[in-house]
Amino acid sequence: MNSKQSVMTLDEFTIQELRNFPGATGQLSGLLRGIGLAAKRVNVAVNKAGIADILGEAGRTNVQGESVKKLDEFANGQFIDALRTSIYCCGMASEENEDFIPFLDEHSMQSKYVVLIDPLDGSGNIDVNISIGTIFSVYRRITPEGTPCKLEDFLQPGSAQIAAGYIIYGSSTMLVYATRRSVQGFTLDPAIGEFCLSHPNLKCPEAGDIFSVNMGYYHLYEAPVRQVIDSFMAKTAQEKVYRHRAVGCMVAEIHRTLIQGGVFLYPAFGQYHHGRLRLCYECNPMSFLVEKAGGMSLSAPGQRLLDVQPAKLHQRIPIFIGSRTMMEGVHHLFSEAQ
């Protein structure tokens, strides 16, 4: 095996970033370290899920009426604990909790950030050993430091994000995060239990040949969406062949898109007439990250997803996201259909 001599850990990297930006307070670095710690704890549970009593349903439904898995609850608890302990955010909102959670201790209240999180994404994959993930998003609070955070701190358009990222628990475990400046990818080295910089300055390939969408709902999608999908499906042997992939975990779809290029679509249909994926916990962070890597994300024809003003925490939204040239094709087809 070819292994590099000395790879920078997540902690070392965030500390080095502080040196490059003398005005930085270190709060964001502290937050990322807290998220990394919770991710390692979740990773341990995921790795031994089959032998620990952690597979299956928790026996309740969440605020969105979806059945909650034991690992959803475990992951949620880990991220809440890590963020509360970190003192680097004044509150958080989770897909698994109806309301946001203010951190009211003196230190946390002084901090300038709030965090939104989908603690376990792709939870339908847990019991069958397919990739799952965590998605997080960081905003600067609107309310004054030193006071309890309020709902308005969490309901900001995605374009206001300070940082966003995901953890993928896959064939290896990775933490990928974007700031306004760059996207960096770290792989968990199980030997030392640290996330190590493995994918510096990630860029989403401009072109791609993969499209990802739940084809089971094809006939329920609106005509322009069907036209977009049709444009990827070869009608003759001579045409460019796109490959179709659908993992059932947005984190895995986005990770593949960042590495190999392509598009991921989750349109509105039938019962999910506002889309299925959540604006604040899933679509905003992934759109921020993909845009920072050079890609594009829309919620409707001509509508940049990051410009949408959220009206409520658990709002859903359609998403069309991925490599720039493929997304320009999507945009073009949408505008023709209008």
Q: How many CA atoms lie within 13 A of 18 on its CB side?
A: 14
Dist CA 150 CA 127 (whole Å): 36
Beta carbon of residue 268, minimum distance to Mn ion (angstroms, whole number): 17
Q: Tell me: is residue 282 an annotated ligand-binding position.
A: yes
Q: Which is nearer to Mn ion, 286 or 327 (CB)?
A: 286
CA distance 312 to 17: 34
**Site membership for ligand AHG, residue 263 (CB under 6 A):** no
Q: At 313, give phi and psi (nearest 5°).
A: -60, -45
Is residue 118 involved in binding ligand AHG (CB under 6 A)?
yes
DSSP 266-320: E--BTTBBTBSSBIIIIIHHHHHHHHHTT-EEEEETTEEGGG---SSTT-B--EE
Size of the site for ligand AHG (CB under 6 A): 11
Choosing from 80, 249, 317, 327, the residue that interacts with ligand AHG (CB under 6 A) is 249
| HSE-CB of 6 using CA atoms within 13 angstroms | 2
Identified binder of ligand AHG from the candidate list 214, 227, 231, 303, rule CB under 6 A:
214
Q: List binders of ligand AHG among 92-111 (CB under 6 A).
A: 95
Answer yes or no whether residue 122 interacts with ligand AHG by CB under 6 A: yes
- Tell me the closest approach of the beta carbon of residue 194 to ligand AHG, in angstroms: 27
Residue among 261, 269, 223 nearest 245 (CA): 261
| Residue 325 sits in the site that holds ligand AHG (CB under 6 A) | no
Q: How far apart are CA 338 and CA 330, in angstroms?
A: 13
Q: Quick one: what does residue 214 bind among ligand AHG, Mn ion, none, with the CB cut-off 5 to 8 Å set by partner type?
A: ligand AHG
Shortest distance in whole angstroms from residue 294 CB to ligand AHG: 22
Which residues sit at the interface with ligand AHG, rule CB under 6 A? 66, 95, 118, 121-123, 214, 248-250, 276
